Every structure is written in structure tokens, then in C-alpha cells.
Structure 1
Amino acid sequence: MHILVVASAYNSLTQRVHAELRDRRHTVAVELALHDDSIRDAVHLHRPELVVAPMLKTAVPRDVWQSHTCLIVHPGPVGDRGPSSLDWAVHEGARSWGVTVLQAEDDMDAGAVWASVRCALPPVAKSDLYRNEVSDAAVTAVLEAVDRFASGSYTPRPQGGDTVRVRPYFRQALRRISWDSDSTDSVVRTLRAADSQPGVLDELLGAEWFLHGGHAEDTLRGRPGDLLATRAGAICRATADGAVWIPELRPRRAPGVPATFKLPATTALAGRLPVLPEIPPPLHADGPRRTWSDIRYREEGQAGFLLFTFPGGAMSTTQCRRLLDAYRVACARPTSVLVLGGARDFFSNGIHLNVIEAAADPAGESWANLNAMNDLVEAVLTTTDRLVVAAVAGNAAAGGVMLAAAADEVWCRAGAVLNPHYRLMGLYGSEYWTYSLPRRVGEAAAARLTEEALPMTAGEALRLGLVDRVVDRAPQEFAGEVTRLAARLASFPATGQRIAAKKSDRERAESIRPLAAHRGEELARMHRIIFDPTAPYHALRRSFVRKQPSGRAESAVAATPADC
């Protein structure tokens, strides 16, 4: 079937719907709804059999939905209506939710239902839920609705009036934190309901900021509202009964100035922060403590697990170096299998474009970040005394995909979306992609993936050889399944033989073409781009970070998966 996907942004869900429909042999066109007539123009251009809108903030024009069936994805159960469905669910502590695919009509979210799927809502941030549990439910519902439409015999059911609940936009006034009286749990829930957009507007150190991310702290205490400490770019702020860690801030935009963007909290507050203790993040899990650490290590028998989770999946120069230090600690342990990845959500999207954009010298910071990322990938590629497994719980892009591809095995959750390319950010690419990608998928497929620059499902990655195992588990079950699989891999008698063979294979590959040659060629080309002020990379990066139109035809496809 010929399907037109329209969306307000090419975000994570739009990418996944696009990729899943392609996997099922539909021909799919994608257009962004950037102005009032854009949907009408897209329909006229593509003449689709069906229109699907995974994420749409504007109404479908009447003449379009009267002449074409338009399926709207609403991130709420049947009868739930309004633009902030998931915000309300997280704010109210809902444990079960749903996604509804309904037909467009005059009243928003009021059309007949083509499919609805329930999903769990574990206590995590809204954007994490959106990319995982909600995304899984949405894709299931969309595919079911598309099949029903294709059958030509299904009649969508009208929504019942008695069960309808219309809720308003979740304004900042409803998100306000009272540091003097709100408990840690209340503050964390408020922050989770606003992550990653729009954040929680608050006053701090004489200015207004949007707070992004929130994690409970059970040891540090202070006067409510006071800043207590810093840790790996995050700030710790006292609540009425404890404290929370806040990893990122975004300045409130003043009239007439460029759009602001999220940064590590200590970076955003540079020049304003008082002297605070820097408390290193604990690398080793310490019982049932509630605290925040973006890098953790643990062991189960002969299997080690280096878990990391960075906001938005972006990895700055500092984060890459910290992760490399932790990787070296993990490699000093007497294990035969080392698993690299997070428990859920993003694996990695590569270099940190926001930190680069905010730097006094963006070209210099780009170069430092690239080299730090390359150092990390090189460490994985040259580990020959154990098997390394990349556990890809969620989406990955660009250098993040190449970090995973450097491992001996890549285990990917079924719902993850991979973007193994750099072109849409105007970059040639690095992270040894000219070695790892052809080694896994072949020269022809590597060239096609990097040139087409399209998102791919875990299933397609498995078929190509980019992924070795697809783990078909719910987001909350992925880490447990990976632990079981890693323990089993470590116990296999053949694992020792694989490790010995791995060392020989690395030595043979090094004699044919050293890794340094791949790195040198890639970084030479990247250096020419990064230090050329007229190169498209700089304008594309600025547009991506500040969420502005790039002016390029392929701007409908983001270089890395965006948030909800």
C-alpha cells in the first residue's frame, strides 16, 4: 500500500512507524506538517491510499480527511482527549495507559477508533515512556489499523460519550514546584512528567530555568531549595524531605534572542554556581540506595555489566572520557563477558551537539568530542581478553551505532530504532565506521545505509548482520533477559575458544589494515569539515540543536532520534 506519513516532527515515534511500515513492504512517503497547507500539499503531491500521523500538533484540514482516511495516533486510551495526555498520566502516577489510533475529524481526538492497545507505565520519565512502552503500543496499534484498512471490510467504532475525558494543555502553572513543602517523590514525579519537553520552569540563582530530569537522592540534606552538591554535570537540590539530582537545565528564552537548548546543569550555570562539593558518581551499585549515577558497574559470576545512560543519548567529551575510564576498570575485572549498555532507553546517539553548540569554540569542541568518542570505540575494538556485548535497549544513531558495532555481539531490543549514518548532519563520520560497518554488513550495504540515511528497525538490522540478536522483551524486561543471556554466554565452554580466536582475528586484521589507518582517514575528512566555517555541518547542527528548519530538503529526517 502507498502510505503518507505526516508529522509535526521526525521524532522517535515517527521514525519507528516509518521504518516498521517499510519493513512490511509498504511504500512510505514522509512529510513534515510545517504550516497550515503542508498536509494538503503533501497529499496532493503523493496521492496516498492512506494517511498516518504518528505525532501531529496541528489539525488535519477538513478537505483532506473528507477525501482520504487519516489515522491519528493519540498517546492515550480510548476516550482520553487533549494535547498533554502522557503528561497527565505521569503526573497522576498512572500505572497503566494506552494508545489509540483514530480517524481524523473536526474535533481533536474524537474520531472513530481503528485500534487501541494498552501498555504499562513504570515509574520513569515521560520521554523514556514515550520512546519505549508507548512506542511499542503505538506501533502495534498502527500496524493493526493499517491491516484493518487494507482489508476493506473493517468499520471503525465511534467513541462512547460516557467515557470521554477531555483534559487541557498541561501548563507550567500546574508544574510548579514548591521546594519548601514538596516531598522528593512529588518533585521527581513533577520533573518526570515534563521530561524532555517542556521541562519545569523554576527560579534558580537569580534567573529562570527549565529543569530537565529528576532523580531522588536519599543521603544529602539541606534547607529546601538550596543547592547541595554537583556530580558529573548535574546539580543536587534540597526538597522538603530530601533532595533530587537534576542533570540538565535550559534558560528561559528572552524576547528577541535565539532559541535556548538543554545543557548539563553545571555548564548552563557556569559563572553563577556557588562553591559546592563535587561528589563523584558511585560506579559500583551500593545496595538499595536511591541516588543518581549515569555510569554503573556490576557483576553476575563471570559476566560484567557496564551500564550507562546519558540524557538524550548524547555523549560529550567529558562523558566519553568518564565512560572510557569506567570501561578500563571493568576490563581489569576477572570476567569473560563484558556487557556494555543501559538498562532501558537510549544506547547512544554519538557526540553531544548541544554542548558543542554552546562551546566558545564549537569546531574545537567538535574535534575534542570526536576524538574522545573514537578513543572509547577503539578500546572496545581492541579488547581481546573477553567477549564484549553491546546491549542496545533503545534507540541509537551515528557514532552510537558504531560504538555498538565495535562489540563482538550486538543484542538489540525489538523496539529500538537505529540510524547508522552521519550524512544528515553534514558529516563523513568517524568511530571506525569504515571498519566496523562493512565488517558486519558488507561494503555494498554499508554504502547504502550511510547514503540513504534512513532509520531501521532492529529486525532489519538483524537481517543485515548489524545486530546479532533481537531481544523481544518489554522495556522493563530487557535488562533481566540480557543478564540471563550474558551469564549463559559466560558459562559456555566455547566462550574461551572464541576469546582466543578473537585475539588471532584482531592481529590478522591489524596486519591487513591497521585500525589507525581507518581512524586517520576518517578524522582527516572530519577535520576538513569541522574546521571549515562554511561547511553545512555548522548550520545543520545549529538548526538541529535550536529546533529550527534547516532549509534542506532532507530536513524531514533528523540526524539522531528526537524526543517526544
Structure 2
Amino acid sequence: MSVEYAINEETMIEGADLFAPDLILATYLTKKIPKEVFTKYPTFIIHPGPFGDRGAYALDNAILNNMKEWGVSILEADEEFDAGAVWGHRNFSLPEHATKGYLYRTVVSDLAIELVDELIEKLKSNKKPLTNPKKPLHPKVTQSIRAIEWNKDSSETIIQKLNASDNYPGIKDRFFDCEVYLFGAVKEQTGLEKKEAKPKEILAKRDGAVLVKTIDGAVWIQKMTEIKNGIRQIKLPSTYVLKDRLKGIKEERISLYVDPDLPTFKEITFYKKQNVGFLAFDFYNGAMSSEQCIRLKYAIETLRDEVDVLVLMGGEQFFSNGIHLTILEDSKKQGEDGWSNINAMNNLIKTILFSDDILTITAFRANAGAGGVFLGIAGDFVFAKSSIVLNPHYRTIGLSGSEYHTYTLPRRVGKEIAQKLLDEALPLNAQEAKSIGLIDEVFKNFQEVESYALQLAQDEERFYELLDQKRDRLEQDKEYIQECVENELEKMYPQFWDPKSDFHKLRHNFVYKICPTQTPLRIAKHRRVNA
């Protein structure tokens, strides 16, 4: 298998000819596949719409039109847009308040994998595809369609519009003198929404989000992207964008962790079953700032007195992706704030590693990358959902990495495989991760993790035997673990503090979404010298 980015027609044609594939799969393309490719090689497109659906903005339209059921299809590439034969399709119920990004990363991706397996079986057995009914193309969803009418739209309508625009392109708006795109809406229903104010007035702030009055309540806006001189900047917490304009707006704090059902903006939630705790940390796009790391660390320290087994659940869209790159990019003290962020992440992971009075279980319910993977494998037991992808490396962002990975990674997979994972910088699916020992078990339904955790806590003999083994290992490895993290930080120090380090350039390109000019050789096997 090899990968070619759809940068332009020339590179697509060249890449296909270099590899001469038996099959080409194109996922959610924004560019048309050249005729020179699909007439020469069997080429199929994953489309995030049901049978016969055509055109861009498929999920945007599904959410905006309040569809109860939607689908995913696999189509044969054709000169006409999404008009090729249909080789498979699956429908699903649209979850209430699901964002476009959430659908892509969960149910759409899961069904796409099923459809690819089905396609291969059909091709092997010479089965025929279905005729495409060629329905009309979706209308383009412009900013004028997405726009929020604050004096007219209900809270539900505003959330629906923002969900259809998340994670991109957002909804264009203006707050104070600041032109912005808005992202990440959450309905407020704990009483703050009853404050007297005009629609669009900001009522409160919390952990980077702002609470905005609507005609029938209030909604939290988590992120904004400022527009300067007509140019889109990077996505940041709303308070980072509005800054001093929020003078006098009260920070409405909540507990360190709250019930998952509390109807407000929250990042850390907790519930308990018997003597097992379930801790979720749903940070936007999986990015974790110093402050978020500190809050999560305190939550875990507090819960050690309340439970025997603690399940670390991450978020629903991402488990974690490590340090917060956009906040670092925005910082005027990038070295200092980057150093603070990695140390806050390390302190969080140290708390998990050395929690010798409880057993911890990591449940990768969603994808994870870089430090987020190493946060997860700090747990005593590691489970991963069958459909998730892990990227256990730092290389693509120009960091050597910390998060105790030089201790936890070789301990799980051995030194040789650990170095290979870091050097090759390739994604792993859950099954691959289990086969090399990076994780312990693969699950399809979270209830499997719940059952395991409850059984572990109830089996006192096994629980205390495992706890004793953990304490003995930590006591034996204590000095070595400290040596590992000190060596990691020594390597990372110049990567943060030297303004000419690769990290600063690669981070800038990543957060500003600067399109690459070529496909990286680590995934474009056909472009390597020895191909």
C-alpha cells in the first residue's frame, strides 16, 4: 500500500503511474480525479452520503436539513461528479447534536472501512455494481446560508448551524470590532442562560469559551478564528481571540470534574459505578494546554481517594493529541510556553504512572497522536476501540518527544519496535497496535471496558496482587524512570527554545494548514529511491 496526496492533477497522474496500483481508494476528495488515472486504474471514491447522493457539502446539508438518517457510499470514479456506479452503501441514524467533524471521525469512517472490505470481496467474486441514479448535486453551503441571525435564530438553530460548520469552515461573524469564524457550540441549561441581556451579548466565560445570549437562552462558543486584513488566522479558544474586549466578563467556574449529563460547557467529566471511576477529558481537537493538563492532573489526584480502578476515557472525537500547538503558535513566548506545556503534560503522566494506590485502565475511544498516545499507554491496562488509529510518534512536528515515552513504549513493545515506531512515523490501527503489544485489548462496545473494570475491582485477590506488582515495579524502576524523562527533556530543550528549530517551522505549517507541496516519503512508498 502507498499514499499520494491529491495536490494537483499532475502529481496524481504521476503518483498513480509510479505505483501502478491494483486499486485506488480516494477518501473525501476536494479535487476531481484526472481521467488519466481512473480510466487506467480501478478507482473508487468514499462519499459521505447515502445511495444516489452527490456533491460536496454532503454532511453540512444533512445536519442543516435536520436529516434523521444519512449514509456512506463507495462509488466508481467518473468524469461526472459522484456519478459513477455504486459499489456499496450503508445508512446510519444521525445522532442528535452531532458535529460534522464528529460524524467524519466516527460513524462515517467506521462504515467506510466496512464498505472497502465489501468492495474487495465484490471485485474478487466479479459482482456487478448498482447503477447510480444521479440525483441533483447538493447546493453549495455558503456563509450566507450558515450565517447566524442572533435576533431570530433559536439556540437549537444556532447549534445546528455551527455543528454543520465544525471543524471547517466555521461561521463568519463579528464580535465587538473583531471579525471571526465561530466553532464548537454547546447549549447552556444550568441557569446562566436566564441572565437578562440582548441577543449576542457575552454573558460569561469559562476555560477559553464564551457564553453568548440568544433569543431563548444562551450558547457557549468554544473556539474562534480571527480574520485579519481578510486573511483567516489560526483557531484559538474564544477568550484568546477576544482578549481585552472581555474586560468585566465574569469567569463562571465549575467543579474540577462534573457529571457527564450536566447541560453546560465542560471538559472533564466523571461518573462512578461501585468502586470504579470513569474519567473523560474532552478537549477540543484533543489538544491539551498547560492549564488543561494541570486540571486533569488534579482531577486524577483527587479521584485516587474515591475509587480502586480509574478508567481514562479521553474525548469522543479524540482521546488526546498531546500539547496545544495553536496556543503555542499564538504565544509571544513560544519557547517558554512550549516548555511549560511539555512539563505540565509530563507531570500529568507522572501522576498516572505513579498512582500506586489504584489501577488505571486507558480506553482509547477515539484516535490519538503524539503525546496523546503516550498519555494513554501510561495506564496499567490499555484498551482501544476497533476503529481507532494511533500515531505513536513526534517526528512529523519536529520534536523528539517526552511524556515518559522512552520508559513506557519500550516496556510495552521492546526497544527495537519502539525505535521503529518513532522513526517510521506511521499510523497504527487498533489490531496492529495489539499485535505488537502497544495495547492490551481491542473493544467494539465501551461496555466491554466497563465490564472488565468492574470485574477487576471486584476480584480482590487479583486486584491486590496486581497492585503489589505495580508498587514493586515502580520502586524498582523509580530512578530509571526519572533518568528517562530527564534525558527526554534534555533533547527537547533546544527544540523549544531555539527559534530556528524545525519544531517552530513545522508547527507553523501545521496550525496554518499550509498545503504540502509533495507527499511525505514515509507514506509515499512509490516515490522512494529504492521503490
Q: TM-score, normalised by structure 1?
A: 0.89
Alignment match, 1:449: 421
Tell me, in whole angstroms, the C-alpha distance in 2 between the residues paired with 1:518 and 1:421. Answer: 17
Tell me, in whole angstroms, the C-alpha distance in 2 between the residues paired with 1:488 and 1:282. Answer: 29
Contact 1:549-1:555 within 8 A present in 2 as well = no
Does the alignment pair 1:224 with 2:196?
no
Q: What one-letter code is carried by the residue in structure 1 that aligns with 2:62?
A: A
Tell me, in whole angstroms, the C-alpha distance in 1 between the residues paired with 2:54 and 2:471. Answer: 58
Tell me, in whole angstroms, the C-alpha distance in 1 between the residues paired with 2:101 and 2:296. Answer: 23
Structure 1 residue 121: Cα displacement: 2.0
Tell me, in whole angstroms, the C-alpha distance in 2 between the residues paired with 1:35 and 1:342. Answer: 37
1:65-84 correspondence to structure 2 within 5 Å: 65-84=38-57
Q: What one-letter code is carried by the residue in structure 2 that aligns with 1:176?
A: A
2:501 to 524, 529, 535: 535
Query: Secondary structure in 2 aligned to 1:486?
Result: helix
Query: Secondary structure in 2 aligned to 1:272?
Result: helix
Structure 1 residue 288: Cα displacement: 4.9
1:195-214 correspondence to structure 2 within 5 Å: 195-214=166-185
Tell me, in whole angstroms, the C-alpha distance in 2 between the residues paired with 1:193 and 1:97. Answer: 14
Does the alignment pair 1:341 with 2:313?
yes
Q: What one-letter code is carried by the residue in structure 2 that aligns with 1:248?
A: K
Contact 2:267-2:282 within 8 A present in 1 as well = yes
Structure 1 residue 95: Cα displacement: 2.9
Tell me, in whole angstroms, the C-alpha distance in 1 between the residues paired with 2:519 and 2:200. Answer: 46
Tell me, in whole angstroms, the C-alpha distance in 2 between the residues paired with 1:327 and 1:160. Answer: 54
Contact 1:177-1:187 within 8 A present in 2 as well = yes
1:144 to 74, 96, 118: 118
Alignment match, 1:55: 28
Contact 1:299-1:305 within 8 A present in 2 as well = yes
Query: Secondary structure in 1 aligned to 2:270?
Result: strand
Tell me, in whole angstroms, the C-alpha distance in 2 between the residues paired with 1:550 and 1:366. Answer: 24
Contact 1:347-1:394 within 8 A present in 2 as well = yes
Contact 1:284-1:298 within 8 A present in 2 as well = no
Pair 182,553 (structure 1): closer, same or farther in 2 beyond 3 Å: closer
Contact 2:259-2:271 within 8 A present in 1 as well = no
Pair 481,91 (structure 1): closer, same or farther in 2 beyond 3 Å: farther
Q: TM-score, normalised by structure 2?
A: 0.94
Deviations for 1:521-550, whole angstroms, at most 9, x for unmatched residues?
000000122222222111111111101145
Does the alignment pair 1:271 with 2:244?
yes
Contact 2:362-2:382 within 8 A present in 1 as well = yes
1:498 to 444, 453, 466: 466
Q: What one-letter code is carried by the residue in structure 2 that aligns with 1:496?
A: Y
Alignment match, 1:561: none
Percent of aligned positions that are identical: 37
Contact 1:424-1:554 within 8 A present in 2 as well = no
Tell me, in whole angstroms, the C-alpha distance in 1 between the residues paired with 2:522 and 2:219. Answer: 37
Contact 1:32-1:556 within 8 A present in 2 as well = no
Alignment match, 1:244: 219
Q: What one-letter code is carried by the residue in structure 2 that aligns with 1:274?
A: K
2:108 to 128, 134, 146: 134
Query: Secondary structure in 1 aligned to 2:393?
Result: coil
* Structure 2 unpaired stretches of 5+: 525-531
Query: Secondary structure in 1 aligned to 2:204?
Result: strand
2:484 to 515, 518, 527: 518
Contact 2:200-2:214 within 8 A present in 1 as well = yes
Tell me, in whole angstroms, the C-alpha distance in 1 between the residues paired with 2:40 and 2:152. Answer: 54
Alignment match, 1:154: 127
Contact 1:260-1:546 within 8 A present in 2 as well = yes
1:410 to 375, 382, 388: 382
Structure 1 residue 94: Cα displacement: 2.3
Deviations for 1:181-214, whole angstroms, at most 9, x for unmatched residues?
2211111111111110111111111221111101
1:166 to 137, 161, 164: 137
Query: Secondary structure in 2 aligned to 1:354?
Result: helix
Contact 2:426-2:522 within 8 A present in 1 as well = no
Tell me, in whole angstroms, the C-alpha distance in 1 between the residues paired with 2:340 and 2:373. Answer: 19
The CA RMSD over aligned residues, in Å, is 1.8
Structure 1 residue 100: Cα displacement: 0.6
Q: What one-letter code is carried by the residue in structure 1 that aligns with 2:325?
A: L
Structure 1 residue 112: Cα displacement: 0.2
Contact 1:101-1:113 within 8 A present in 2 as well = yes
Tell me, in whole angstroms, the C-alpha distance in 1 between the residues paired with 2:62 and 2:170. Answer: 16
Query: Secondary structure in 1 aligned to 2:160?
Result: helix
Tell me, in whole angstroms, the C-alpha distance in 2 between the residues paired with 1:287 and 1:29. Answer: 41
Tell me, in whole angstroms, the C-alpha distance in 1 between the residues paired with 2:385 and 2:483. Answer: 33
Structure 1 residue 165: Cα displacement: 4.2
2:336 to 350, 359, 364: 364
Alignment match, 1:3: none
Structure 1 residue 441: Cα displacement: 0.7
Deviations for 1:85-104, whole angstroms, at most 9, x for unmatched residues?
01111222223221111011
Pair 556,205 (structure 1): closer, same or farther in 2 beyond 3 Å: farther
Pair 246,408 (structure 1): closer, same or farther in 2 beyond 3 Å: same
Contact 2:407-2:484 within 8 A present in 1 as well = yes
1:289-438 correspondence to structure 2 within 5 Å: 289-333=262-306, 335-342=307-314, 344-438=316-410
Alignment match, 2:64: 91
Contact 2:400-2:492 within 8 A present in 1 as well = yes
Query: Secondary structure in 1 aligned to 2:167?
Result: coil
Pair 146,266 (structure 1): closer, same or farther in 2 beyond 3 Å: same
Query: Secondary structure in 2 aligned to 1:341?
Result: strand
Contact 2:258-2:266 within 8 A present in 1 as well = no
Alignment match, 1:6: none
Structure 1 residue 247: Cα displacement: 0.9
Contact 1:205-1:273 within 8 A present in 2 as well = no
Contact 1:208-1:252 within 8 A present in 2 as well = yes
Alignment match, 1:44: 17
Q: What one-letter code is carried by the residue in structure 2 that aligns with 1:532?
A: D
Q: What one-letter code is carried by the residue in structure 1 that aligns with 2:377?
A: A
Alignment match, 2:165: 194
Tell me, in whole angstroms, the C-alpha distance in 2 between the residues paired with 1:93 and 1:397. Answer: 32
Structure 1 residue 308: Cα displacement: 0.7
Tell me, in whole angstroms, the C-alpha distance in 2 between the residues paired with 1:485 and 1:229. Answer: 41
1:464-475 correspondence to structure 2 within 5 Å: 464-473=436-445
Structure 1 residue 299: Cα displacement: 1.4
Pair 366,234 (structure 1): closer, same or farther in 2 beyond 3 Å: same
Structure 1 residue 82: Cα displacement: 1.4
Structure 1 residue 303: Cα displacement: 0.5
Tell me, in whole angstroms, the C-alpha distance in 2 between the residues paired with 1:253 and 1:126. Answer: 26
Contact 1:30-1:556 within 8 A present in 2 as well = no
Query: Secondary structure in 1 aligned to 2:382?
Result: strand
Contact 1:347-1:392 within 8 A present in 2 as well = yes
Alignment match, 2:476: 508
Structure 1 residue 284: Cα displacement: 4.6
2:148 to 177, 194, 199: 177
Higher relative contact order (CA 8 A, sep 6+): 1
* Structure 1 unpaired stretches of 5+: 1-27, 559-564
Tell me, in whole angstroms, the C-alpha distance in 1 between the residues paired with 2:389 and 2:66. Answer: 28
Alignment match, 1:234: 209
Deviations for 1:374-409, whole angstroms, at most 9, x for unmatched residues?
110111111100101111110001100000010001
